[in-house]
């Protein structure tokens, strides 16, 4: 199953210009099996999501992109709207208590990252980024960061033994499906999604 794990719609995410219905129409057009609504600090109502997805044939899942003092984190399975900025430790405690799943989103966006022997952030230094000590996975492919930033995220995930996920981080319609997570097993519910994320039985690809 090809699922875009990271997307934003308007008006729930003010930075996005995507109408939710247009998002689903585009998902059908490019052949996605599922997508996740990960608004900033806003969790969709499950009944509203079910009604929105009806008739499209695309699985629609709820998530949340939560701002912590140490970086943005995608969370699945946490039934709480967290407002404002919290610490990654506080979020980790909530995720653990809820049996939820957390992913460090675009962890090196805007960082000056270079190879060893050059000025900038080395791989060892990158691995010490605090948010990475309190998440279940790392987003290693994101359409809104550079190829180098994605590659550093992938190297860090491998070195730390964390699974790497992919998502478009769509804010505009043509972003959708740029990067997707490709799951081995079928996913019908949000419980299934969390189970398969934990299993690590997935790769990444593109629907574009």
Q: How many CB atoms lie within 10 A of CB 66?
A: 28
Supply the pTM of this predicted model: 0.94
Q: Which two tokens stand for residue 181?
A: 């997570």
Under 8 Å between Cβ of 2 and 33: yes
Q: What is the per-residue pLDDT for 115?
A: 52
Name the strands in the sheet holding 59-62, side by side, starting at the edge strand that comes first in the sequence. Answer: 59-62, 34-37, 2-4, 180-183, 202-205
Pairing between β-strand 2-4 and β-strand 202-205 as defined by DSSP bridges = unpaired
pLDDT digits (tens), the chain, 208 positions: 999 999 999 999 999 999 999 999 999 999 999 999 999 999 999 999 999 999 999 999 999 999 999 999 999 999 998 989 999 999 999 999 999 999 999 999 987 555 544 446 788 999 999 999 999 999 999 999 999 899 999 999 999 999 999 999 999 999 999 999 999 999 999 999 999 999 999 999 999 8
C-beta contacts of 85-89 below 8 A and 24+ residues apart: 88/130, 88/131, 88/133, 88/134, 88/135, 89/134
Pairing of strands 101-104, 71-76: antiparallel
- Which domains are present in the chain? 2-205 (3.20.20.140)
pLDDT value at position 118? 47
Looking at residue 121, its pLDDT comes to 76
- pLDDT at residue number 188: 96
């Amino acid at each position: 199953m090809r699922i875009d794990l990271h997307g934003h719609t308007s008006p729930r995410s003010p930075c996005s210009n995507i109408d939710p219905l247009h998002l689903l129409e585009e998902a059908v057009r490019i052949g996605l099996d599922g997508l996740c609504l990960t608004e900033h600090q806003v969790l969709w109502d499950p009944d509203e999501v079910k009604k929105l997805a009806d008739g499209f044939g695309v699985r629609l899942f709820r998530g949340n992109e939560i701002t912590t003092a140490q970086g943005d984190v995608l969370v699945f399975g946490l039934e709480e709207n967290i407002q404002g900025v919290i610490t990654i430790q506080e979020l980790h405690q909530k995720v653990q208590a809820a049996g939820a799943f957390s992913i460090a989103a675009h962890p090196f966006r805007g960082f000056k990252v270079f190879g060893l022997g050059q000025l900038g952030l080395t791989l060892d230094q990158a691995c010490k980024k605090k948010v990475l000590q309190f998440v279940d996975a790392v987003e290693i492919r994101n359409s809104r960061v550079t190829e180098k930033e994605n590659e550093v995220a992938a190297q860090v995930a491998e070195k730390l033994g964390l699974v790497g996920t992919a998502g478009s981080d769509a804010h505009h319609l043509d972003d959708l499906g740029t990067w997707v997570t490709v799951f081995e097993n079928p996913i019908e519910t949000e419980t299934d999604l969390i189970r398969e994320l934990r299993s690590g039985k997935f790769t990444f690809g593109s629907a574009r």
